[in-house]
Amino acid sequence: MDLPVKANIMDAEELRRVLIRIAYEILERNKGTQDLVLIGIRRRGVPLAQRLQKIIEELEGVKVPLGSLDITLYRDDLTTLTVYPRVQRTEIPFDITDKKVILVDDVLFTGRTVRAALDALIDLGRPKNIQLAVIIDRGHRELPIRADYVGKNVPTSLKEEIAVQVQEIDGVDQVLIRELPQEAQGP
């Protein structure tokens, strides 16, 4: 669906820089790549995590393990949906126990997706810690969750939608603020 675009708040170049900065922050905070793993939340967290993996490899010469997580089965809103979300594959081809897991997603909003992702990760093993990296934090949290790495804080209204678009899925790297139709507003 093509919603009216209110603003383009990040272009490809800016996104590239944001990812580089986040990569540096991750390396700094974790003092290198020891025990580090990247897990992208489907769908757009996955290509973003891939890019972080590549940047870290360029910086450190180490290929950090990369996985992807589908949180559909952990969602807390399934019974309220009329259209079933398509379940996709979780691919984490390594043991996360005692690892430092960097969970990667495009937007942090209510925090419910992250909550689901945390539950899903715990079912897969017992990581040493879990850190959260997002491109956009748009506020309106409904759970006590915060991000460790944020590309950009964007105050938004509930009448808006944040669309992080990536080359791999959308054919373009950019972040848009779009206007939601009246009936779809709200968290």
Partner 1 sequence: MALARKDLLGIKDLTPEEINLILETAGPMKEILGRDIKKVPTLRGKLVVLLFYEPSTRTRTSFELAAKYMGADTVNFSPAASSVEKGESLKDTAQTLEAMGADAVVIRHRSGGAAAFLARTLKAAVLNGGDGMHEHPTQALLDMFTIKEKLGRLEGIKVAIVGDILHSRVARSNIYGLTKMGAEVRVVGPPTLLPPDIEKLGVKVFFRMEEGLEGVDVINMLRIQKERQERGLFPSLREYMNLYKLTAQRLKLARPGALVLHPGPINRGIEIDPEVADGMQSVIKEQVTNGVAVRMALLYLMIGGGK
List of residues contacting partner 1 (CB under 8 A): 70, 73-74, 78-91, 119-120, 123-125
Considering the complex, state which of residue 23 and residue 49 has its C-beta at the smaller distance from partner 1.
49
Closest approach, Cβ 87 to partner 1, in A, equals 5
Residue with Cβ nearer partner 1 (3 or 124) = 124
- The residue among 90 and 165 lying less far from partner 1, judged by its C-beta, is 90
Q: Could you give the CA distance from residue 98 to residue 31 in angstroms, rounded to a whole number?
A: 16
Angle, helices 12-30 vs 45-60, to 10°: value is 60
Measure the CA–CA gap between 71 and 113, rounded to whole angstroms. 7
Q: How far is the CB of 60 from partner 1 (least distance, A)?
A: 30
Shortest Cβ distance from residue 77 to partner 1 (Å)?
9
DSSP 72-123: GGG-S-GGG-SSPPPP---B--S--TT-EEEEEEEEESSSHHHHHHHHHHHH
Nearer to partner 1, 107 or 120 (CB): 120
CB of 85 to partner 1, least distance (A): 8
**8-state DSSP, 180:** P
